[in-house]
Amino acid sequence: MNFEYQNPTRIIFGAGNLSRLGEVAGGYGKKALLVTGGGSVKRSGVFGRAVASLTAAGIAYAECTGVEPNPRITSVARGAEIARKEGCDMIIALGGGSVMDASKVISAATLYDGDPWDMILHGQEHVYVPTEALPVITVPTLAATGSEANCGAVITNEETKVKSFIQIPLLYPKAAIVDPELTVSVPKDQTAYGVCDLITHVTEAYFNGSGTTPIQDRFAEGVILTAMEWGPKAIADGNDLAARTQIQWSALVALNGWVNVGTNAPYPVHMMEHTVSAYHDITHAAGLSIINPAWMRFAARTNTAKFVQFAERIFGLKATATDDLACALEGIDRFEQFLRSIDCPTRFSELGIDDALFETYATDTLKIVNDGQGNLPGIPVMSVADMVGIFRSAL
Ligand code: NZQ
Ligand code: ZN
């Protein structure tokens, strides 16, 4: 293990903390661009409470509404334009991962005269790496991505059908106000997708990491077991604040870097899913819940011992040996059953997606990330044919 770790995001966690938004924001600026999605925060009353807190603290604000799920670069450009015109000196993201991701890129795009798409990795020759950005405060209303306390952002170019990311330390939010009360209005399906997303964040590093991170393995297993215990409770009763709290914290720790530190893992399932959602605009974790078990069955044949560990520690199965492939595959079946039990899709056909573009997803994925030899990094590395085979097995 050889790594450097620093996550500078100040985390203010717990029910009721939305009321502190104004006080916290006062430490970073005087006029905020308040970024929101399609209206859920207005319907739930969260927006009104956020504005009341800002106003009481003497913070002015301008609005950027309508950031769509799978946020588009056009929304980023629009937000940056408003922030410049209104003279905003900070960005407040009030919403799910899509709003938070758009907000992070808006924070840099506001101070950049060029096309904000230059910042998103998409196989282009010129990548603009921003060096300055407005401070960002995240206020997540959905437990899923962990975007509130990490430095990544995933953005879609709807014209070219590319969904890709930027991940640089500059984009760490200054503060995250993580108030599980804000998630009680999340519908059952989005709650379940959040559970699937957060579990996938840790399975990626668990199965694709260096293999010499026993503490990280235990952290990851703790996150998975916690999500499998409390997720169904949050889905069954959206007002169960104890369950919402555990899921919110699980989602944050799953992708704030700490669980994965030292693994140096690529995220192949995410890379493949992003390409599929670029074409079909599906919910991110609906794609993950289809691709992840299919990928696991492929990878278990190479990395059997790790999948045996997963089967034993997560599902209490007993293997005959560390290369007991049947046990490894049984663990994956159990995982898929869990996803089905929370009504996540596990086949493309459930989303009306056929095999017409399987090769296109695979080749497009490699345009964003590859190992220099035409493969997608992971354990094992994947060729176009491997990816197509995985997609086909999930038809
Ligand atoms: O748009 P509104 O009206 O707010 O409704 C949203 C949206 O329809 C709704 N919602 C959010 N909070 C709610 C609520 N509805 C009722 N009550 C609330 N409290 O939920 C829907 C989905 O929202 P979205 O933000 O799209 O979901 P999520 O948080 O899952 O974010 C998904 C995006 O994040 C990216 C994904 O690719 C996708 O674009 N990711 C970002 C990551 C990161 N930055 O670290 C990592 C992830 O792996 C992921 O790729
Ligand atoms: Zn994800």
Cross-strand bridge partners of residue 371: none
Ligand (nearest to CA of 238): 1
Q: Name the token pair of 313.
A: 């520690």
CA of 32 to the centre of ligand 1 (A): 21
Ramachandran bin of 220, using left for φ above 0, alpha for ψ from -120 to 50, beta for the remaining angles: alpha
Q: Are both 147 and 231 inside the same structural domain?
A: no
Name the DSSP class of 233.
H
Cα-based torsion angle of the residue sequence 124, 129, 135, 141 in order, rounded to the nearest 10 degrees: 30
| Residue 211 predicted with pLDDT over 90 | no
Domain finish residue from 163, 183, 203: 183
Residue 239 lies in a domain: yes
- pTM confidence score: 0.98
Q: Are both 249 and 385 inside the same structural domain?
A: yes
Domain finish residue from 150, 183, 216: 183
For residues 137-163, give the mean pLDDT. Answer: 97
Residue 106 lies in a domain: yes
Name the DSSP class of 183.
G
Domain containing residue 330: CATH number: 1.20.1090.10
| Residue 1 predicted with pLDDT over 90 | no
Q: Are both 103 and 31 inside the same structural domain?
A: yes
Domain finish residue from 183, 218, 233: 183
Q: Are both 214 and 193 inside the same structural domain?
A: yes
Domain enclosing residue 103, as ranges: 10-183
Ligand (nearest to CA of 282): 1
Strands annotated E in 118-185: 136-140, 152-157, 162-167, 175-178
Determine the Cα angle at 337 with ends 274 and 311, to 5°: 90
For residues 21-38, give the mean pLDDT. Answer: 98
- Is the CB of 95 within 6 Å of ligand 1? yes
Q: Are both 172 and 194 inside the same structural domain?
A: no
Alpha helices in the chain (DSSP H): 21-25, 40-43, 46-56, 73-86, 97-109, 188-208, 214-236, 241-254, 268-280, 284-299, 304-315, 325-341, 358-368, 384-393
Non-local (6+) Cβ contacts of 267 within 8 A are: 204, 205, 208
pLDDT digits (tens, 9 = 90+) for 224-270: 999 999 999 999 999 999 999 999 999 999 999 999 999 999 999 99
Q: Are both 278 and 252 inside the same structural domain?
A: yes
- Is the CB of 70 within 6 Å of ligand 1? yes
Residue nearest to atom 16 of ligand 1 (CA): 186
Q: Are both 125 and 225 inside the same structural domain?
A: no
Q: Are both 297 and 216 inside the same structural domain?
A: yes
Q: Name the token pair of 142.
A: 């959905």
Residue nearest to atom 22 of ligand 1 (CA): 69
Q: Are both 310 and 375 inside the same structural domain?
A: yes
